[in-house]
Amino acid sequence: TPWQPLLFSPLLGFTLIRGTHDPDDVDQIKHLEIRDSDVFVATYPKSGTIWLQQILLLVEAKGDVTAIRNPTIVSNADIMPWMESIGTREMFITAPSPRMRVTHLQPQFMPLALSQRGKVIYVARNPKDVLVSYFYFHKMAKMLETPKDFNDFFEKFLRGDLFGCSWFDHIKAWYSVKDEMNMLFFTFEEMIQDLKSVVQRISLFLGKDLTNEEQANVVKHSTFKKMKDIPQANYKQVSEEMFNHQNGMFMRKGTIGDWKNHFTVAQNERFDQVFQKEMKDFPVSFIWDIKDIE
């Protein structure tokens, strides 16, 4: 059998990436001690994770972009790594505050102490755009399987047969614990609509007192256009061993409604059926098209 990049862990009941994650290590995350200043950004893959890395690092630096444009830093993940990646958990224990981490895990794998202290930011993105973005990401990320075709990937997404598992389970699980943790919940589409007010909400949530000018600098250096010019933000410097940069970009479009360029009518109907069934009582509504906000 060919090499299987995905690793379903019976221990966790969750799908991980072979070589990137270790189920036994992930299983230990829940026992970590948490400090008041710890911040976790939780997302399903392709929902604005690296955008949030940029914003949080800039909020922490009060808008000073030199904090990120550091020649010794390959990517923002060096300063704000994925919690589930091999090695991150051990480094977390002794890391200086503030410890800021991103994760694609579901809440049941997170430190139990988050119910007492620390902060969580959850960003949700409309799942049709997530699917398209994740499809392109699979084409460039060497640790993942190159999709046979769009339709095959479409079915995998609906089955939750990917790293991150089911989008529907992910958002519902996190939303269900939002009152048990100190959590800020917003959408990718809100960031596109009004980045300034999202940056304000984040600063307030993190207890950072930024001047108007500092806040404006955070916004300025967190726009999609600016991030495309900052190698640490767009992951351009990450080695070819991990990403085939010829096959695509980490930051591709960053828009709303790109799914319309990819879904067939039949796929869209099928997706809507599944969405209706899975999300019928869910209180958050999504923006599916950029025209809806223009």
Catalytic pick among 21, 31, 104, 262: 104
**Nearest to residue 135, comparing CAs of 150, 156, 155?**
150
What does the DSSP assignment read for 76-90? GGGTS-BTTSTTHHH
Structure-block tokens of residue 92: 């977390």
Cβ-based neighbours of 199, under 8 Å, separated by 6 or more: 55, 59, 215, 218, 219, 222
CA dihedral 11, 16, 18, 21 (to 10 degrees): -80
Handedness of CA 113, 176, 255, 134 (dihedral sign): positive
Whether 138 is catalytic is no
Asked if 40 and 101 count as a contact pair (C-beta separation under 8 A), the reply is yes
Asked if 258 and 129 count as a contact pair (C-beta separation under 8 A), the reply is yes
Asked if 15 and 109 count as a contact pair (C-beta separation under 8 A), the reply is no
Provide the 10 A C-beta neighbour count for residue 270.
15
CA 131 and chain centroid, separation: 13
The C-alpha atoms of residue 88 and residue 99 are separated, in whole angstroms, by 11
- Provide the phi-psi class of 8: left if phi over 0, else alpha when psi is between -120 and 50, else beta: beta
Asked if 106 and 172 count as a contact pair (C-beta separation under 8 A), the reply is no
Catalytic amino acids?
A: 104
